[in-house]
Structures are given as structure tokens and as C-alpha cells.
Amino acid sequence: MWKYRLCLGLSESFSVPYEEQLKLIKAAGFDAYFFNWDRNLMESVTEAGKEQGLILQSIHAPFGKSADFW
């Protein structure tokens, strides 16, 4: 399993800014991250992730009831 990259999600639920969460994710040994779509934050979060050397693995869909799809 050592060949796989580990990914962790950002959350608005924490009282920690996304940029700080990304630093913590990197420090904890993760390689990638994902977060919920927010048009206003896309560029800043992507740039902050690049600064930490992290991969943006995925973005959750920007619409309600997306789970109903399944």
C-alpha cells in the first residue's frame, strides 16, 4: 500500500482557515486534499495547496441533493 497517495478533506466545520488546514495536512504526511466547491475560494485554495506541494484530488459537486444521484 506504500505506493498509494493519501488524501484528506478540508472542512468549513473547523475553526481553522483552509490555508492552515493545508499546512497541517502536509505536516501530517498526506499528499493530497479535497474540498467542497466554492467559486469564490477555488483559486486561493488551489494556490495554497500548490504552495504546500499538495495535489487537489477532487472537489465535491456544487449543488444540493447530489447524493440523490446514487
Question: For the segment 23-57, what is each residue's pLDDT rounded down to a tens digit?
Answer: 999 999 999 999 988 889 999 999 999 999 999 99
36 in helix, strand or coil? strand
Task: Assess contact for 38 and 10: CB atoms under 8 A.
Answer: no
Average pLDDT of the chain is: 88
Nearest in space to 24 (alpha carbons), one of 41, 44, 9: 9
Cβ atoms within 10 Å of 51's Cβ, excluding its own: 12
The least confident of 19-23, 27-31, 59-63 is 59-63
